[in-house]
Amino acid sequence: MAIAEHDTMSPHLAIAAAKQALGRSGHTPEEIGLLLHGLILHTGFDVWNSAAYVTRLLGIPHGNCLVAEIRSGCNSGLVGLELACSYLEARTTAPAALVAAADCWPAPGFDRWRSEPGLVYGDAGAALVLSRRLGFARVLATSTATDSELEGLHRGDDPFRVFGESARRPILLGRRAREFLRTMPRVDVRQRQDRQLRAVVEQATAEAGIRVSDIEHVVLPFYGARLLHNAHLKRLGADVSQTAWEFGREVGHTGGADVLAGLDYLTRTSRIRPGHRVLMLGEGAGFICTAAVLEIQQLPPTAPAG
């Protein structure tokens, strides 16, 4: 598993990944009109905007760059991608947008090994640049669906706390889910998640003008083999050979960086080719599910994300 040094925080990982992505994009820091930093756990400070720190360390000048944190759970990477696409559509003078997602899962606050069945958590960051210029891939479509009736899966029975009060530690997401399942049958939860996944995949592929069977590669969260099969592969009718699972099983579930890092892995291992279609699928607390369809335009000289 990817385990960072004890003094490494998620903004440090986001900066490292963003520097690589920006350098490989051909854009200068001055051309970034939007920077989004997706994260879940603590960034090192309270009452602080970590996205502004990432922006400053990248050398992006102060001025018209919009910076913001994204807290959409483990779906922050793809939520960031969709928001960045919308921003570039609305702000036609912005040449490019940068999305970085990163998290660390340190003990004793979080038990990376036992917090949730079917996966372990790894520390990592990944980033991508969306450009108005020709890139190695074109975003054909994105789609997001939210089922807020499932937000309790990540809240459980924990009470709301006044700032400064400690929560139960370590954070055990599996326990919170079990507490929520006392209020909604497991079969109902799975059916709702199935409908969400089908809805976003059907909408994204329809807008892209393709069928699911036309997709060569599927980039999914870094789950364990059984959970990955039951949660995604079986539902999509996809095979693990289409994914970046062999990489994800070594890194662990990183949170919102999974799908960005998975796309990077496919480019580094030369598995993608011009004309290939890639389906990226993310899900996070809320419950928020996002699908994005890309078409590979050309082989990048080096990977697009760190």
pLDDT, residue 305, reads: 43
On whether the CB atoms of residues 85 and 139 are closer than 8 A, the answer is yes
Amino acid, single-letter form, for residue 19? K
- How would CATH label the architecture of 140-296? 3-Layer(aba) Sandwich (3.40)
The pair phi, psi for residue 221, each rounded to 5°, is -60, 155
pLDDT at 166: 66
pLDDT at 286 over 90: no
Q: Indicate the CATH number for domain 10-134.
A: 3.40.47.10
Does 190 score more than 60 pLDDT? yes
What is the C-alpha to C-alpha distance for residues 8 and 3, in angstroms, rounded to an integer? Answer: 10
Query: What are the structural domain ranges in the chain?
Result: 10-134, 140-296
Residue 21 predicted with pLDDT over 90: yes
pTM: 0.92
Question: pLDDT tens for residues 38-76?
Answer: 999 988 888 889 999 999 999 999 888 999 999 999 999
